[in-house]
């Protein structure tokens, strides 16, 4: 049965749920987004997102007032997909509206912009066949749209993505829990040493760039948990 982690910013905890694929995602109003829809084509039985994504979805879906097709959402970094630091790897992005007409999709995109519920909406010139929306938290470590810097005490979706990448590369053998503790710090420092980067144990711009470039799309390795 799939395990769904939801980072709850009110408590600072990663809540753990066991859900069937046909169940709604935790916190979703009604059945407007099932676990299966969020998982999409990913083969992973472990998924994660942030409660604020669900909050945005609930308001977005309610305002639109009718079903919205979800074609792509969650992806593990080792499964590959979009660009190096894709918001899909952090479970904070949704690709919507594949089944609409061009006109319907243009309306959905405009509604996404007008709603103010998302941090980023991909322009139609980049994704004409669907509407990509996402939310981003913290300041990008590299200053341009990527993941934020992380260190001991960090929690939530980006820590899951970090641990997932370290596990895909065999730097961490286990411990996918979304909490940046001393074990994760040691793993990051080992990776930095291996790569000739300053071994601070914290994840800065260069560490994210190197790690995501190497882990993306490597496929199933002995250390990834499916």
CB of 200 to Zn ion, least distance (A): 31
Degrees, nearest 5: CA angle 29-128-123:
80
Distance CA(4)–CA(21), nearest Å, equals 10
Complex with Zn ion: residue 38 or 180, whichever CB lies closer? 38
Q: Per CB under 5 A, which region of 15-23, 43-51, 131-139, 168-176 contacts Zn ion?
A: 131-139
Give the DSSP H or E segment for 56: helix 51-64
Residue from 50, 79, 95, 164 that binds Zn ion (CB under 5 A)? 95
Distance CA(184)–CA(225), nearest Å, equals 16
Q: Per CB under 5 A, which region of 43-51, 94-102, 163-171, 178-186 contacts Zn ion?
A: 94-102
Residue 67, judged by CB atoms within 10 A of its CB (0-12, 13-18, 19+), counts as exposed
Residues in the interface with Zn ion (CB under 5 A) total 2
Q: Per CB under 5 A, which region of 24-32, 45-53, 129-137, 162-170 contacts Zn ion?
A: 129-137
Helices 205-215 and 157-168, axial angle in degrees (round to 10): 50
Helix-, strand-, coil-residue percentages of the chain, each rounded to 5:
30, 15, 50
Q: Is 132 in the site for Zn ion (CB under 5 A)?
A: yes
Q: Is 136 in the site for Zn ion (CB under 5 A)?
A: no
CB of 97 to Zn ion, least distance (A): 12
Complex with Zn ion: residue 88 or 155, whichever CB lies closer? 88
Q: How many CA atoms lie within 13 A of 66 on its CB side?
A: 5
CB of 146 to Zn ion, least distance (A): 15
Q: Is 79 in the site for Zn ion (CB under 5 A)?
A: no
Complex with Zn ion: residue 109 or 132, whichever CB lies closer? 132
CB of 144 to Zn ion, least distance (A): 17
Distance CA(95)–CA(88), nearest Å, equals 9
Footprint of Zn ion (CB under 5 A): 95, 132
């Amino acid at each position: 049965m799939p395990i769904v982690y939801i980072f709850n910013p009110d408590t600072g905890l990663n809540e753990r749920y066991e859900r069937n694929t046909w169940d709604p995602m935790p916190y979703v109003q009604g059945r407007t987004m099932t676990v299966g829809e969020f998982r999409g084509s990913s083969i992973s039985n472990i998924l994660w997102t942030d409660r604020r994504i669900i909050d945005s979805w609930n308001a977005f879906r309610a305002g639109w007032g009718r079903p919205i097709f979800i074609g792509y959402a969650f992806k593990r970094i080792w499964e590959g997909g979009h660009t190096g630091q894709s918001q899909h790897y952090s479970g904070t992005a949704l690709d919507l509206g594949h089944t609409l007409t061009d006109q319907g999709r243009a309306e959905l995109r405009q509604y996404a912009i007008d709603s103010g519920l998302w941090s980023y909406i991909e322009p139609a010139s980049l994704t004409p066949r669907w509407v990509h929306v996402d939310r981003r938290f913290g300041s990008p470590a590299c200053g341009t749209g990527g993941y934020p810097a992380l260190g001991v005490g960090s929690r939530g979706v980006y820590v899951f993505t970090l641990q997932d990448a370290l596990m895909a590369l065999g730097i961490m053998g286990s411990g996918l829990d979304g909490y940046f503790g001393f074990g994760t710090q040691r793993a990051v420092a080992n990776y930095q040493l291996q790569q000739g980067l300053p071994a601070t144990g914290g994840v800065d711009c260069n560490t994210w760039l190197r790690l995501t470039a190497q882990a993306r799309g490597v496929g199933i390795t002995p250390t990834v948990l499916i």
